[in-house]
Amino acid sequence: MNNFEYSRAADVADAVRQVATDPGARFIAGGTNLIDLMKYDVERPARLIDITHLPLKAIEETADGGLRVGALAPNSDLAYHPLIETRYPLLSSAILAGASAQLRNMASTGGNLLQRTRCFYFYDVATPCNKREPGSGCSAINGINRINAILGTSEACIATHPSDMCVALAALEAKVRVAGPSGERTIAFEDFHRLPGDTPDRDNNLAANEIVTAIELPPNGFAAHYSYLKIRDRLSYAFALVSVAAALELDGGRIKEARLALGGVAHKPWRNRNAEAALRGEVPDRAAFAKAAGLVLLDARGFSHNAFKIDLARRVIIRTLTQAANATPQIQSVKKIR
């Protein structure tokens, strides 16, 4: 591990000031991803700016009837918060499908958004990887790519974003509040993470001198008809091969509003508005769900070891939408350990 300096941010303005004046600095929150990356020599920060003492842990109601979640709220606090459990159970369910109880206790909301891909080659510094070292090549395209993307890929990178929580946040149309040297701004969740294109080293649109301060949830949490279904190689402690967040609003036996987002298939949580539009006005049955799945996967492209994901995703979409329509959401098999 590389030597690095350590400092603690006194407040958000100080955090921004510190990161803006040191290009080699990184914020550290729960450390559950960053410290691993440092041990693997993938990240070599010159300075760690500890943000854990900033007052960004609150989960509070907003004037418009939504919720504001501080960037340092631990994943477990968020998943088990009464307002989240009752009004945004899709978010709670997605968080509980991820990692382990101990990790969720440490992991922060902001850090979850900014966690990096789990592509094997990204972690293996002996191999070429455009995300880690721009221009070096992509080892996954012709390598072991079982866990890699099938949608939105580029010739430069076929990595996926590994978060479960972010899939639910995409479906719920959350917003990301950030602060930087010129003040605060809000980024729509859909615009936060990026596709790889020819700059796969950039995971998201957060500037290097900005900090995530909060996530804003709109009033509609789709609490009556939702489901988060995650398919993985092991039942716990594994990242998604394919996951689906589905949320429906039903009215008079038809779909009034639909949200559909996928994890484990692309460089960002994958939301397809054409599929959502096709569901609106339909009777919530298998034919409508299969049509939506077809639209989501229209441009899907499999590689040597992950082509199976296309049919898997199709089936998971249909099943998750069926669970949502029937109000029988997927139960996450975790115990409450805090």
Q: Is there binding between residue 160 and ligand SF4 (CB under 6 A)? A: no
Q: How far is the CB of 257 from ligand SF4 (least distance, A)?
A: 35
Q: How far is the CB of 64 from ligand FAD (least distance, A)?
A: 23
For tokens 């803006």, the residue is 20
Q: Is there binding between residue 113 and ligand SF4 (CB under 6 A)? A: no
Cβ 244 vs Cβ 262: under 8 Å: yes
| Nearer CB in complex with ligand FAD: 77/164 | 164
Burial of 252 (0-12, 13-18, 19+ CB in 10 A): exposed
Contacts to ligand FAD from residues 157-196, by CB under 6 A: 162-165
| Chosen residue from 49, 67, 158, 261 binding ligand SF4 by CB under 6 A | 158
State how far Cα 132 lies from the chain centre: 20
Q: Is there binding between residue 33 and ligand SF4 (CB under 6 A)? A: no
| Chosen residue from 38, 59, 67, 71 binding ligand FAD by CB under 6 A | 71
| d(C-alpha 240, C-alpha 150), whole Å | 13
Q: Is there binding between residue 138 and ligand SF4 (CB under 6 A)? A: yes
Q: How far is CA 227 from CA 167, 217, 337, in A?
A: 12, 17, 22
Burial of 239 (0-12, 13-18, 19+ CB in 10 A): buried
Q: How far is the CB of 238 from ligand FAD (least distance, A)?
A: 6
Q: How far is the CB of 319 from ligand FAD (least distance, A)?
A: 19
| d(C-alpha 325, C-alpha 211), whole Å | 38
Cβ 173 vs Cβ 259: under 8 Å: yes
Q: How far is the CB of 292 from ligand FAD (least distance, A)?
A: 24
DSSP secondary structure letter of residue 171 = H
| Nearer CB in complex with ligand FAD: 89/111 | 111
Positions touching ligand FAD (CB under 6 A) are: 26-34, 36, 51, 71, 98-99, 103, 106-108, 110-112, 114-115, 162-165, 211-212, 237, 239
